[in-house]
Amino acid sequence: MFSLMHRLLIITQKVDESDQLLGFFIAWIQRFAQQFAHVHVLCLQKGSYKLPNNVSVESMGKDRGYSKARQLFEFYRFIIAQRREYDVVCVHMNPIWAALGGLVWRIMHKRVYLWYTHKAVTMRLRIAHAMVHRVFSASPESFRLPSTKVMFTGHGIDTDVFSPGDEQLRSKDSLLTVGRIAPVKNLEVLVDAMSLLAQQGSLLRVVVVGEAALDVDRAYEDLIRKRINNAGIVGRFVFAGKHKNDEVRTFYRECALFVHMSRTGSLDKTLLEAMACGARVVSSNDAARAFLPPELIFDGANQGDLARGINRALSELPAPSLRAYVVEHHNLDTLIQKLSKEMISVCR
């Protein structure tokens, strides 16, 4: 613990422990609450959560059906009205809020930080970058704007939650992929690879954990299901739907292999979660090349290469120990201590 004299304002998208994609952030807030006297959280929408007494959560009203104009009004109302209740600001992932609030916070002499992990370099990000004092990012692949402000910190995986289970319960024929069902996830290549493996006599099946959240994603899921049907491998795919962040742990613990299909280029926390749970993994992600053995990397556009990668990964005995890498480089407690130390040091 560094100090309990300083107060933090966090701007984030959602505070909801039941959300599969964003539920993990509850653990971040809990850890920040151990480092600051008070943590104010301003979010677009809030759901269910359990947080310490020194945490307060305020919504901009998306959960109450407010228009975007009303949400923006609530944003400015809060950051100005509560200006004496926080010392430092951390914007989580959405650079638009750093861009919109940056000038106001500068006038009020607030230090502003941005956490950002995505390969996209947008105009919003450029404006936000000009406004903030420091950018935190997981890896160089996760922040591609040339900058002297950036600090690479690793991801924040709760390795107490994401830990190995009983290996006797691990399946021998179940592949797993986790995340929002969307074109960027490249699932058509996985379908084609499974078709090749089925032709070779493989009995492997795939569990897909996640949902299609947007209209374009739902259209993509329909195409994937049709592709599976046309390939004659309907029985090889199970769509498990969305699950709470901590519920996904069971899937990681029980799969034979986690298949990481994303080609976003930025370091993906689902891959690290699977590794922390002791799962075998294969990945097509550029950032994974820094820590995975070459035999566990495949060409994300080539179903034949993926099929070969799956066979290689499942035949490797013993499986490479990857949890230690996550514990050393991407542990949540270590991450929050790094961020807090950086933010608090300038308040003294």
208: domain CATH number?
A: 3.40.50.2000
182 shares a domain with 140: no
**Which range marks the domain in which residue 66 is found?**
7-156+331-345
pTM over 0.95: no
Whether residues 248 and 176 share a domain: the answer is: yes
Give me the number of domains the chain comprises.
2
My answer on whether 12 and 107 are in the same domain is yes
Q: Based on the domain organization, do 288 and 335 belong to the same domain? A: no
- Cα 31 to its chain centre, rounded Å, is 17
**Is there a domain that residue 1 lies in?**
no
124-159 per-residue burial string, b: 16 or more CB within 10 A, e: under 16:
bbebbbebbbbbbbbbebbbbbeeeebeebbbbbbb
Q: What is the mean pLDDT of each run of 10 residues along the chain (348 residues)?
A: 76 94 94 97 96 98 97 98 97 97 97 94 97 95 94 95 94 94 92 97 96 94 97 96 90 96 78 95 89 90 94 78 93 96 77
* 175 and 283 both lie in a single domain: yes
Dist CA 248 CA 264 (whole Å): 21
Residue 86 lies in a domain: yes
Using CA atoms, how far apart are residues 22 and 38, in angstroms rounded to an integer? 22
**C-alpha dist (Å) from residue 272 to 100, 224, 254, 275, 320:** 32, 26, 16, 5, 14
Task: Take residue 274 and report the two structure tokens written for it.
Answer: 């699977």
Residues 105 and 208 in one domain: no
Q: Do 279 and 146 reside in the same domain of the chain?
A: no
Same domain, 142 and 222: no
DSSP H or E run through 338? helix 332-345
Residues 322 and 339 in one domain: no
Contact present, 127 and 94 (Cβ < 8 Å): no
In a domain, 268, yes or no: yes
73, burial (CB in 10 Å: exposed 0-12, middle 13-18, buried 19+): middle
Q: Do 81 and 54 share a structural domain?
A: yes
The residue with tokens 């290996």 is 167
Query: Are 196 and 313 in the same domain?
Result: yes
What size, in residues, is the chain?
A: 348
Residues 139 and 255 in one domain: no
pLDDT at 143: 94
Question: Is 161 inside a domain boundary?
Answer: no
pLDDT at 2: 43
